[in-house]
Amino acid sequence: MQKLRPDMDIGKNLRKLRKQKKLSQGDVSRKLQLMGCNVSRMTYSKMERNDYNIRISELIALKIIFEADYVDFFEGLEEKFRKEANL
């Protein structure tokens, strides 16, 4: 099985947003399932570890669950990208 190589690391931001809401990974996966996203606790854990490519529908649901802005998911990533690309 091929290991995913994450393009960008949003897992840390997912973990931070989840902890700010005082939710467990199980809580988040149950909320995602109620919103029609087939995400187990194990799959959500993979999201936080950057071992899973998040679907747009899942990102939208996470935005609603965390009551966040899309920019919150990508915090710090532009700077990291610029540094790695020597921009």
Residue 49 lies in a domain: yes
- Domain enclosing residue 20, as ranges: 11-84
Give 7's pLDDT tier (boundaries 50, 70, 90): low
CB 86 within 8 A of CB 13: no
User: How many domains, the chain?
Assistant: 1
Q: What angle do CA 9, 46, 83 make, to 5 degrees?
A: 10
pLDDT digits (tens, 9 = 90+) for 10-67: 999 999 999 999 999 999 999 999 999 999 999 999 999 999 999 999 999 999 999 9
The token duo for 39 is: 């995400």
> For residue 28, what are the contacts with CB-CB under 8 A and spacing of at least 6?
18, 44, 62, 65
What pLDDT was estimated at residue 6?
54
Residue 70 lies in a domain: yes
What's the whole-model pTM score? Answer: 0.84
CATH of the domain at 56: 1.10.260.40
